[in-house]
Structure 1
Amino acid sequence: MSDSLTLEGVHADIAQYHILQGVNLSVPEGSVTVLLGRNGVGKTTTLRTVMGLWQAHRGRILLGGEDITRLPTPRIARAGVGFVPEDMGIFSDLTVAENLTLAAVSGPIDSARLDWLLDAFPPLRTFWGMAAGNLSGGQKQMLSVGRAVIEERRLYLIDEPSKGLAPAIVTTLARALKQLKAQGASILLVEQNFSLARALGDHAVVMDDGRTIWAGPMATLAADAALQERLMGLSMEAHG
């Protein structure tokens, strides 16, 4: 199996802070890799650096073997990377329909893909003509995910999609992401909800202090509470 995404010794700074200090990871094609670690270790910065929003000053980022380290964000998006940022990144003054239309960078939205998305997230159908700023927090998150997946892409970067959401919304979100996974999607997911991470993840990568410190099957990490405690200072069972 080839890798959809590979990071090789990636370093990145934000202002005077050296945030990423040697990130190595891979996302095999057609699988979900979950990026784990305590708050502030660099998980969100890793996703933003892959997306070109922060610039790596050392190391390489490969998309399907192609070096994208120095590419600007629009070119990375057009190369087939969808991004769900932690702050959702929707256009509040535009309607649901307009948000999704703008996100379809390759042209008109595929009708079958749209039907799947609206079936997965029924509120987007209900509020199709409503300004996105008037949606609830959970509905905004559905729209944020919808913008990233409205087209079939080579890779999806998803940053803490369940953060702050009610359990019923998390269930809807989890079902949609499982469907996306079943379609053969390649996903790099940052997620603090360990029950969701376990349910979706094929592989796990753990970060600490700007570095990757462990990588392996999600099942291995999920089954070993002592390993979880050693790597992250917490147990998945206690935070599931």
Structure 2
Amino acid sequence: MSEPAPQKAPILRIEGACTNIAQYHILQGVDLEVPAGAVTMLLGRNGVGKTTTLRTIMGLWRAHRGRITFDGQEITALPTPAISRAGIGFVPEDMGIFSDLTVEENMTLAAASGPLDSARLDWIFAAFPPLKTFWKKEAGTLSGGQKQMLAIARAMAEERKLYLIDEPTKGLAPAIIATMAGALRDLKAQGASILLVEQNFGVARMLGDTCAVMDDGRTVWTGAMADLADDTSLQERLMGLSMETA
């Protein structure tokens, strides 16, 4: 009998991360691993610390305890620009686009290391056709779904090892959600790793390989996304509702 293929080391590991914001103890012990080349879903009810976890990884909020390791390097105390240069792209929940600049100018700024790669830009246009249509338009004139496409495309402007994406489908129409999901599948197929905060359980089930569930600033469950998707009682115990009814 042949031996099973060895699993890749996690590209991101968080160990006992605690983050305070002013007098509030937001993260109170987050343990999380993101396998290389996989989509990891970060799930949980509103206000449990999912966004804070992403912002702590990026160094936007500083963990006062614990350890964060990315691609074999500890990044816990690194400044945000250094974390970005190490190969992490971040799409915040508020999108972070520049409304007064054109789509082209937003994308050009996102490619910090040099001019936009034409082949990569063609791939982005194939994933998000409206961005090509409105290339010379100010980003503030785009629809909500088109702005979200631009926000994700900005993170994709350069090849990254890991993408942190915060609720990309929130408030979007089903057709736009399907476009987003297809782009993220393509990104994974290119070998990227993704940590995705998502409230849409259909999207989580479709895209997720692994999953971590948070509650009250802590990770309370980790495992295969399929295991959580197939266990209604576990969903209700961890999150208070079933994926079938969400």
The TM-score bracket by the shorter chain reads: over 0.9
Q: Could you tell me how far apart the structure 1 residues matched to 2:36 and 2:104 are?
A: 30
Q: Which residue of 1 aligns with 2:58?
A: 51
In the TM superposition, what whole-angstrom CA distance separates every residue of 1:156-181 from its partner, at most 9, and x where no partner exists? 00000000111111111111111111
Q: 1:216, 1:11 → 2: CA distance?
A: 21
Q: Give, in angstroms, the shift of residue 135 of structure 1.
A: 0.6
Secondary structure at 2:28's aligned position in 1? strand
Q: Aligned partners of 1:64 and 1:77: how far apart in 2?
A: 13
- Structure 1, residues 4-31: CA drift from partner, whole Å, max 9, x if none? 1110000001111000000000101000
The whole-number CA distance in structure 2 between the counterparts of 1:106 and 1:200 is 30
Structure 2: 5+ residue stretches without partners: 1-7
Q: 1:88 aligns with which of 95, 105, 109?
A: 95
Letter in 2 for 1:218: M
Query: How big is each residue's C-alpha offset from its partner over 1:108-132, in whole Å with a ceiling of 9 and x where there is no partner?
Result: 2111110000111000000001110
Among candidates 216, 220, 224, match of residue 217 of structure 1: 224
Aligned partners of 2:174, 2:111: CA distance in 1, in Å?
29
**Residue 186 of structure 1, CA deviation:** 0.3
What's the secondary structure of 1:7's corresponding residue?
Answer: strand
Measured in 2, the distance between the counterparts of 1:137 and 1:17 equals 32
Distance 1:209 1:65 in 2: 28
Q: How far is 1:96 from its partner? A: 0.4
Q: For residues 63 and 112 of structure 2, what CA distance do their matches in structure 1 show?
A: 25
TM-superposed CA distance for 1:45, in Å, is 0.4
Identity %: 72
Q: How many Å separate the matches in 2 of 1:172 and 1:186?
A: 19
Tell me which residue corresponds to 1:6: 13
Name the structure 1 match of 2:196.
189
Residue of structure 2 in register with 1:234 after alignment: 241
**SS of match in other structure, 1:226:** helix
Instruction: Find the counterpart in structure 1 of residue 209 from structure 2.
Output: 202
SS at match of 1:56: coil
1:119 maps to 126
174, 183, 189: which is aligned to 1:167? 174
Report the TM-score, using the length of structure 2 for normalisation. Answer: 0.96
- The reply on whether 1:24 has 2:31 as its aligned counterpart is yes
Q: Distance in 2 between matches of 1:18 and 1:65?
A: 28
Match of 2:147 in 1: 140
Q: Which residue in the other structure is 1:71 paired with?
A: 78
Alpha carbons 1:19, 1:42 under 8 Å: kept = yes
Give the distance between the partners of 2:19 and 2:172, measured in 1 at CA: 30
Runs of 4+ in 1 over 2 A off after TM superposition: none
Unaligned runs of 5+ in 1: none
Deviation at 1:235, TM superposition (A): 0.5
Residue 5 of structure 2 corresponds to none
1:213 partner letter: V
Q: How many residues align?
A: 239
Shift of 1:184: 1.5
* Partner of residue 112 from structure 2, selected from 101, 105, 112: 105
Aligned mates of 1:130, 1:237 — CA distance in 2: 40
Alpha-carbon distance between aligned partners in 1 of 2:11 and 2:111, rounded to the nearest angstrom: 21
Q: Which amino acid aligns with 1:145?
A: I
Task: Return the alpha-carbon distance in structure 2 between the equivalents of residues 155 and 171 of structure 1.
Answer: 21
Per-residue CA shift, 1:45-68, capped at 9, x if unaligned?
A: 000110111000000111112010
Q: Report the secondary structure of 1:238's partner residue.
A: coil
**Equivalent position SS for 1:35:** strand
CA distance in structure 1 between the partners assigned to 2:83 and 2:116 by the alignment: 19
